[in-house]
Structure 1
């Protein structure tokens, strides 16, 4: 219940602060009531890139109006004209070659006027009837050829071809009178044969509209200037970016939207916690760190509300969490902060994609960092990623490559560089404040050049190699059960550093006599038991982290130095106090400390009994017996190990120890001549 209370308190405070940041951001602020034609009382800049729809539409209409019509040729117009000319001359030839009975009382000119498809003057009909057949044929052919020549070039509606006809007739051998008749014949038959193709024209105009690039108002560009009249264009842009307050009910709808958003974020957190057990196992210190970093991030989001999005250090909190706690929790934190920042800044797609990808890539890179000396390399890498993202996203939305764009890309690079340096540089502060141990710090402790490890190698060589074996056993088993393998390895390296104070009193370091042969059991037990307290003193002196100190004092728990206890009972009887021969504890509190305890006792026992290993006694038998013994003694009661974990540990230890202490064939003696 106590844990539940502070978790709920953190959650309530975080929700309240989130609401304050969002409601004071661009989504809720800068709402104005104004109409077209009124004078602006303040200057408003675009919080993000937005399309100027009216300007874009004007540009599209201009492109549509300037697109020429598409024409198509109508061949039937020419064919009809040629047919009319041929019919006229056929009537003329027929009247010339065949007589007309006088009883009809009609002259040839009157008949020609009534039958001719081409209207001419009476004198022109008379001239045609008075022309010889050869000249008629020549005149007919000239009329057809000139009509075809003019019509093939295309005649548009209301296009006057009079001059063209006269010019072409003057180049012929026709007389002036014949040219006049030919002009009238051709002129009457020239009709518009180059007509507008409505479907093709509409398609061309639509294509011209679609090729018009949208006109954008860039982030930070002024939409409305104080003291100027509000135009329809400015009004439309203000409406698009959500700065117009046209209805009092709009504020209520925004609060409803914020409530739904907070609910969905909490639902996302709940589902993530249910799935990810590492989040459920957070300590109070870890939860406090997450809460503090979230509050700091909210403050940065609010302070940077008027600044460019590339300056918002949104990845600082996720990067710290990925190093100090967990990569998965860092990703969850980053997604939540991205949503809050996006809503507060009323962000566009470029903002969201930029911070989403740069944050996720940064978390991935920082999580794999193993040494602090890699900080600058990773900082340059992350800065390069942010610069490339910024430039590519702006090119994607239509910006051209310019010195201004490249300069902003360089600024994004510097921001990424500073973020990584800030995160890694502040790690000692967070480690000291919350007692965290980072993978970077653990990896540095595995370096054989660490002073205490060098001392162990020189002054207690047997203990050093025993520690290496324990570290290997514990690390492999930690991988099997999902514990912190790196922490287990470090614990294995340092768990017996207390033996440095009296290394020759421990069997693995003895070369000649055993000093315990000359001591009473109580004194020997005191020396053996003291290596835990001595180890803690050395850990303090060498400034080892708390988790290592804990494994030093917990790796024997409250177990007994059985050899000297039995020896004392044989000498003094049942009056011997078992507490005098027992470690002070505490029992292992973490899985890693429990693994060090089990690996320590198993390795020592198998090493001492390796000559007895065979068909009747296997490595697995010894491992299973020692693990069972520690379990029965209650040494594992206070650590979060499951029964199923013990079986995995036994299998892992057995596999490793078989490789270390495998049977060797006995080589026969070689006879020398």
Structure 2
């Protein structure tokens, strides 16, 4: 027989229903795409003006968003460049040349002295030529003044003082060498360290003071000063590259001047300048500009890709959500409300985004994966509006806003997923705002925005996230009641032992209350062990026997010695026991419990047999011969269809069975748990639940761990009489 023939009519009916649900999902996304396109195009299409350079504006033109005043900003930057100090560097080649020239001077001085000595030797007549020491002539006698001046003129440094010239001839070679070493060393250090024009006189005075402190003669000191004057020249020259860099650094330090959103760019009747016209073009405020003709088709194409990606992801990876009319209706309302809020936020300030609101609701009401994809879709869509119109549409503002929304939304999802109280949901939104603000500060720093603009932008991120998260939490109860949704926050409130229904159970049926708390502990641990919804399992277990409030004394855990069932027929007793499940629904409806909790309550007994009274009736049958109708002793509820319902069923039965044991050992508890679980499986109570055999084994192990903690051995204290 083929697979098609094996398909039951019930299964064949599900296919068209699922197909219709998918069509509904496509319609929801199509409407969302149309609404997003309308909001984006309407917001990005500002009022345009008929203006041109050199003509008077017919009306005042205001900025639709904050824009940089490039003219005034550039004027301030140019002033900063002009005021920047020049950067000097040492010209090593010039320094080496000056030092070399100084050395050449001393070489010429040596030649001057050698020439004079040769002349002295040639003119020696009376003295012994072989003994020059016998020559007692002065240099004035040997070399006439005219000849001396001729020799001095050959020196690189002009010397016209004949007295200095004769003193140089009288000086010893050692003194000349000492002068040379001192002058060359000092010049080398000063020139290579750098001498600026402004510091030249100061440096010259310093080295002259050092020269005067030496042991040289007055005439040699005078010569040294002349050499310093000749060769101590400025060696610091302007470094054009570094100077330009310093000027640009000073210009970059100037914070841009911005024209605030709503500020007047051109007054009515004012002649439009080229700079103003360029600014109007950048803001797409000039009627007839080419940017306007490409905005509509470009925006529609872009948003079609964004929402097409969202739809493709949902249809492939989130099929349950995409095929559920309820889930898609919730998602549609989230998308539409968030888009409407985006339009309002754009009117306030383009940098304000309501993405946190939509992402937080999607995470709480739909699923985490859907929320992550919605976060991406919002970031890609709303980034257009953050950039503004004109040539800044996909500029740095758009990229920065996109990064801030992506990271802040992801942080909101991570925190909200672990939040069990409504107050922590506000903290989740606020933390997302902090992350977004951090991204804005980092991005603004990288892009070299002014700190005023950065701090304002960051403040808008945090303030909007806080306000929107408060708004989201405030309307969360409306979503929960309207769509019968179980959120962690709602479950946490229901699991609070101060809930009126639980307090009533604690007072009127204390035994049932204690049993419910024990079952809740077992169910929570087991659900956590297999990855089910532990909070839902715990909450359902706490209310699973709430129907016993109507007749608490009909149940063993609430009886004090007298058992009312001793006076009733087994069928009557079973009827009262089974009725507590229907009674529970009336209590749950009165206290507006969510359907997920109701499902656990109606399914946790399945169609199990009230075995005690059934076997009691069988015993009576042997006496009076009347047949026992098994249907009267079975619960008429549905079989567990979720993991949480099945866990509560097993926890309920195991807790009651183990409690009936008298001081059981661990092995006895394990045998009883295994027996109860196997009995439920053999009775077919778990055939509709999605539990696997490995998960059932994990549930058994979890029960044993919990029972070990709940039934630990206690110390027996001695009697009071024995202590006296």
Would the TM-score normalized by the shorter structure come out above 0.5?
Answer: yes
CA pair 111-326 structure 1, distance change in 2 beyond 3 A:
same
Q: What is the distance in 1 between the residues matched to 2:264 and 2:718? A: 96
Q: What is the aligned partner in structure 1 of residue 253 from structure 2?
A: 213
2-structure distance, mates of 1:234, 1:187: 65
Distance 2:431 2:386 in 1: 27
Cα offsets for 1:432-469 (capped at 9, x unmatched): 11111222222222222323222322322221221111
Q: Which residue of the partner structure matches residue 474 of structure 2? A: 425
Q: Which runs of 5+ in 2 are unaligned?
A: 1-18, 125-143, 213-218, 388-396
- Structure 1 residue 494: deviation in Å? 0.9
Structure 1 partner of 2:673: 623
Q: Which residue among 435, 439, 443 is the counterpart of 2:492?
A: 443
Q: Residue deviations 1:461-504, cap 9 Å, x none? A: 22122111111111111101211111111111111111122222
Q: Is 1:7 equivalent to 2:31 in the alignment?
A: no
Contact conserved, 1:445 with 1:490, CA < 8 A, in 2? Answer: yes
Whole-Å separation in 2 of the counterparts to 1:113 and 1:11: 106
CA distance in 2, matches of 1:257, 1:461: 64
Pairs within 5 Å for 1:14-413? 14-26=32-44, 42-44=61-63, 46-47=65-66, 58=78, 62=82, 66-67=85-86, 69-72=88-91, 73=95, 74-84=98-108, 87=111, 91=115, 94-95=118-119, 98=122, 117=154, 133-134=166-167, 190=230, 193-195=233-235, 197=237, 200-211=239-250, 212-213=252-253, 215-218=255-258, 220=260, 224-225=265-266, 227-231=270-274, 235=278, 259=301, 263=305, 283-308=324-349, 311-327=352-368, 329-346=370-387, 347-348=397-398, 351-352=401-402, 355-356=405-406, 358-363=408-413, 367-372=417-422
Tell me the residue number matched to 1:176: none
Aligned equivalent of 1:452, options 501, 507, 510 = 501
Deviates more, 1:345-354 or 1:492-501: 345-354
Structure 2 CA distance for partners of 1:119 and 1:486, relative to 1, 3 Å: closer
Match of 2:703 among 650, 653, 657: 653
Change (3 A) 1:29 1:78: farther
Separation in structure 2 between the aligned mates of residue 348 and residue 593 of structure 1, nearest angstrom: 48
Unaligned stretches of 5+ residues in structure 1 = 101-106, 173-178
Give the C-alpha shift of residue 342 in structure 1. Answer: 1.6
Task: Tell me the SS of whatever aligns to 2:355.
Answer: coil
2:134 aligned partner? none
In 1: Cα distance, 2:99 partner to 2:286 partner? 59
> Does the Cα contact within 8 Å between 2:609 and 2:634 map onto a contact in 1?
yes
2:16 corresponds in structure 1 to: none
The question of whether the paired residues in 1 share the 8 Å contact of 2:22 and 2:322 is answered with no
Shift of 1:5: 2.0
Residue 633 of structure 1 corresponds to: 683
Match for residue 485 of structure 1? 534
Instruction: Give the whole-Å Cα distance in 2 for the aligned partners of 1:543 and 1:355.
Output: 36
Aligned residues: 634
Check 1:188–1:492 CA distance in 2 against 1; reply closer, same or farther (3 A cut): closer
Where do residues 557-636 of structure 1 align in structure 2 (5 Å cutoff)? 557-568=606-617, 571=621, 576-608=628-660, 610-611=661-662, 618-636=668-686
Contact 1:118 1:188 in 2 (8 A): no
Counterpart contact for 2:29–2:311, Cα < 8 Å:
no
Q: Normalising by structure 1, report the TM-score.
A: 0.74
Q: 1:38 to 1:597 in 2, by over 3 A?
A: farther
Q: Distance in 2 between matches of 1:206 and 1:56?
A: 17
Q: Deviations over 1:353-375 (max 9, x none)?
A: 65555555555555555445678
Match of 2:139 in 1: none
Tell me the distance in 1 between the aligned counterparts of 2:721 and 2:675.
44
What's the TM-score, normalizing by structure 2?
0.69
Q: Kindly indicate whether the alpha-carbon contact (under 8 Å) linking 2:429 and 2:466 is maintained by their aligned counterparts in 1.
A: yes
**Paired position in structure 2 for 1:474:** 523
Q: Counterparts of 1:77 and 1:450 in 2: how far apart (Å)?
A: 102
Deviation at 1:253, TM superposition (A): 9.8
Contact 1:10/1:291 (CA < 8 Å) preserved in 2? yes
Q: Counterpart of 1:544 in 2: which secondary structure?
A: coil
1:531 aligns with 2:604: no
* 1:440 to 1:671, Cα distance in 2 relative to 1, 3 A: closer
